Chains A and B, each alone.
Chain A
């Protein structure tokens, strides 16, 4: 069955430092992969997505992610973190069944940013 693992439950970085959030997936075919961000008390906002083509994808708010099939990973990166990036980050994979898809989410990584 398709699944998503986010190994880090909680990460703390200093403002201005670089960031990498890990995501590993298990899926038989080429996966459709997504990263979402959830600010406190808010819904989920799509940061970026991958389903084919260039394995390095750019998203909103200065985020990027790289799809690595050999490692079954889709890690999220940002070169310089801002205090406003503090939030919960979710990696997700689309699971297809009967012509329809549903997103399977990882458990999330909570990012804290020190001033």
Chain B
């Protein structure tokens, strides 16, 4: 019944590795997002897709590559992980501008 689900919930990996985070929503929303929350709880948008098309691409290192195979899924692949990538990554989806976003429970990424 989970509306926006992310996997994995926790991810611990070494510097230089490549990892992926998956997100799925069953709400029928057209737009999905990735946000990064740093250690001070600050939330910053990274990417947004509308019906599989990239519509927002903030200033994010090109080591980060989102992929949306269909409008219900938005995955985030990260190459050559760095210590500074450690954060909580949230996936979200929305139906309209007025509806607000529905967030997943987050993926805590720790790079050691």
Contacts and interface: CB of A to CB of B under 8 A. Distances in A.
Interface string A25-52: 0000000101010100011111001010
Given A43-B90, A100-B56, A108 B42 contact: yes
Nearest to B90: A43
Interface residues of B, number: 24
B43 A100 contact: no
Contact of B100 (A49, A97, A105): A49
A96 B97 contact: yes
B42 A44 contact: no
Contacts, number: 56
Contact of A103 (B4, B41, B101): B101
B75 to A, nearest CB: 17
Nearest to B55: A100
* Chain B interface, >50% SS class: strand
A42 B105 contact: yes
A100 B100 contact: no
B40 A107 contact: yes
A90 interface: yes
Interface of B: 4, 31, 33, 40-45, 48, 50, 55-56, 90, 92, 97-98, 100-106
19 contacts: A32-B98, A36-B103, A42-B106, A43-B4, A43-B90, A43-B103, A43-B105, A44-B43, A45-B103, A46-B100, A94-B97, A100-B48, A101-B97, A102-B45, A102-B48, A103-B45, A103-B100, A107-B42, A110-B41
Interface of A: 32, 34, 36, 38, 42-46, 49, 51, 88, 90, 94, 96-98, 100-105, 107-108, 110
The 9 closest A-B pairs by CB, nearest first: A43-B103, A105-B43, A43-B105, A44-B103, A101-B97, A46-B100, A108-B41, A100-B55, A102-B45
